[in-house]
Chains A and B, each alone.
Chain A
């Protein structure tokens, strides 16, 4: 008999919330780019819940699913010497376990 699929983890953030990406450096397959670690941005939207890719890469099921957020960062916050307007942004998909309240 198939085991029931566990429910996705509860969402801890909402669109508009300020969030900081963990400044962590775990080994293995990680889908959080280096350049955005430790940076603070704003949740733009919730994309849904997806199996954790760090677990999937280890041949595990990645469950419970992790909420995935689209986070918007001001370019001037990401790159102190950024050349461009103050409204220029970069948006990155980040899984919930990589985010904390700033």
Chain B
């Protein structure tokens, strides 16, 4: 058996989670099985759904327009279930680079990108991304030229954001699946750009 390490009492939030879950089960609102299934589904969800949306937008101008007008509806059009997600898609162009942050907590389009990376929730990223985005992006290895404006989106309330990156050159004639393989999670947060 693995050494479980020194004894640590449950934290406040762990206790609260257990109490709430047990109460909901006891009252018959949910079953333990349903909770476990939902947690598993959340863990399994990756950023592939987001990549599919981007690849479709790259290959279908009509879809791209609908996506920029109403992100939620455009996701549903691809058969993606995105309950409660109010999605705003922001488009990178040769003149504008977009990046997403949530300075207040860690709002993130989980339905499309899965669980956010640790750094997205860090105080460092959250406080500096609005204050010195160019320096932060450089730390991700992304140098944005001065002539390109940076548009930082602080996800402070009810909307969720997804960056639509620019389609890399050299991908002419690629099908959607192959294109989707270029689209990483970081590209859709705006701290990276896809490269062919």
Residues of A within 8 A of B151 (CB): 88-91
B interface, over-half SS: loop
Determine whether the beta carbon of A83 is less than 8 Å from that of B134: yes
CB within 8 Å of B: which of A31-75? Answer: 31-33, 35-36, 47-48, 50, 53, 68, 70, 75
B186 at the interface (CB under 8 A from A): no
A84-B134, A85-B146, A88-B149 known; A31 and B156 CB under 8 Å? Answer: yes
Q: Please measure, in the bound complex, the distance between the C-alpha atom of A89 and the C-alpha atom of B152, giving whole angstroms.
A: 6
B157 at the interface (CB under 8 A from A): yes
A interface, over-half SS: mixed
CB of A37, distance to nearest CB on chain B (Å): 12
Query: CB-nearest residue of chain A relative to B95?
Result: A87
A35-B103, A90-B130 known; A47 and B159 CB under 8 Å? Answer: yes
A50-B157, A93-B154 known; A85 and B149 CB under 8 Å? Answer: yes
Determine whether the beta carbon of A92 is less than 8 Å from that of B149: no
Q: Please measure, in the bound complex, the distance between the C-alpha atom of A70 and the C-alpha atom of B130, giving whole angstroms.
A: 15
Determine whether the beta carbon of A35 is less than 8 Å from that of B153: no
Determine whether the beta carbon of B86 is less than 8 Å from that of A84: no
B131 at the interface (CB under 8 A from A): yes
Q: Please measure, in the bound complex, the distance between the C-alpha atom of A93 and the C-alpha atom of B153, giving whole angstroms.
A: 9
Determine whether the beta carbon of B149 is less than 8 Å from that of A91: no
A53-B157, A93-B156, A93-B159 known; A33 and B149 CB under 8 Å? Answer: no
Determine whether the beta carbon of A83 is less than 8 Å from that of B147: no
Query: CB-nearest residue of chain A relative to B134?
Result: A84
Query: CB-nearest residue of chain A relative to B146?
Result: A85
What are 14 sample pairs from A and B whose C-beta atoms fall under 8 A apart?
A31-B104, A32-B156, A47-B86, A48-B86, A53-B157, A68-B157, A70-B88, A83-B135, A88-B151, A89-B151, A90-B130, A90-B153, A90-B154, A92-B154
- Using CB atoms and an 8 Å cutoff, list the residues of chain A in contact with chain B: 31-33, 35-36, 47-48, 50, 53, 68, 70, 75, 78-79, 82-85, 87-95
